[in-house]
């Protein structure tokens, strides 16, 4: 049996990123709860790193939001906004996540329609060259976004938060009416 399933660029980016931002918001809550239960100085976890040459827990959120802005601008054929320098404080990071989520939720499907058919120039630090839209979306935009979620997950879990794969997957009942609890 064959199914004709067609997903637009919007379908595979915007709802997925909104869902991921919700997961990241939950990780901030887990970090704050961990600080409270351990009696840590508020905000201490925001400076934790998985490895010395990687971004801190707090920076994962700020950079992820900046990259969403930049990638979506590229898909919309607009200049990327200047990266925001978010304060490494829980309220500021939560605000940045909400702002980015609001941007995505206000984006209309037509604004990125056909993005998979265009060619995009990419510059260092990650890669240099020209990429077709399909490759850009599947091999950079989405993996780049998930990388920051995964690293934030790994940091807060390593520090003792009781989180696992279900937390990484987020609230699956928010999806197409299914309840996977």
Per residue in 21-74, pLDDT (tens digit) is: 999 999 999 999 999 999 999 999 999 999 999 999 999 999 999 999 999 999
Per residue in 102-128, pLDDT (tens digit) is: 999 999 999 999 999 999 988 877 778
Average pLDDT of the residues of the chain: 91
Rounded CA-CA distance 25/124 in Å is 29
Rounded CA-CA distance 129/132 in Å is 10
DSSP 119-145: EEEE-TTT--EEEEHHHHIIIIIHHHH
State pTM to two decimals: 0.90
pLDDT of residue 13: 96
User: Using CB atoms within 10 A of its CB, is residue 143 exposed (0-12), middle (13-18) or buried (19+)?
Assistant: exposed
């Amino acid at each position: 049996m064959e199914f004709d399933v067609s997903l637009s660029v919007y379908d595979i980016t915007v709802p997925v990123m909104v869902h991921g931002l919700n997961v990241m918001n939950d990780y901030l809550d887990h970090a704050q709860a961990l600080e409270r239960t351990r009696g840590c100085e508020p905000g201490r976890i925001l400076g934790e790193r998985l490895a010395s040459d990687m971004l801190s827990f707090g920076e994962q959120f700020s950079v992820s939001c900046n990259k969403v802005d930049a990638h979506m601008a590229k898909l919309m054929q607009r200049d990327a906004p200047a990266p925001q320098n978010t304060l490494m404080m829980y309220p500021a990071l939560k605000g940045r996540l909400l702002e980015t989520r609001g941007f995505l939720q206000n984006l209309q499907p037509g604004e990125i329609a056909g993005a998979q058919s265009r060619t995009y120039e990419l510059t260092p630090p990650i890669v240099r060259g020209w990429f077709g839209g399909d490759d850009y979306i599947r091999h950079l935009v989405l993996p780049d976004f998930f990388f920051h979620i995964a690293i934030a997950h790994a940091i807060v879990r390593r520090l003792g938060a009781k989180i696992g794969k279900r937390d990484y997957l987020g609230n699956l009942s928010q999806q197409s009416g299914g309840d996977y609890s």
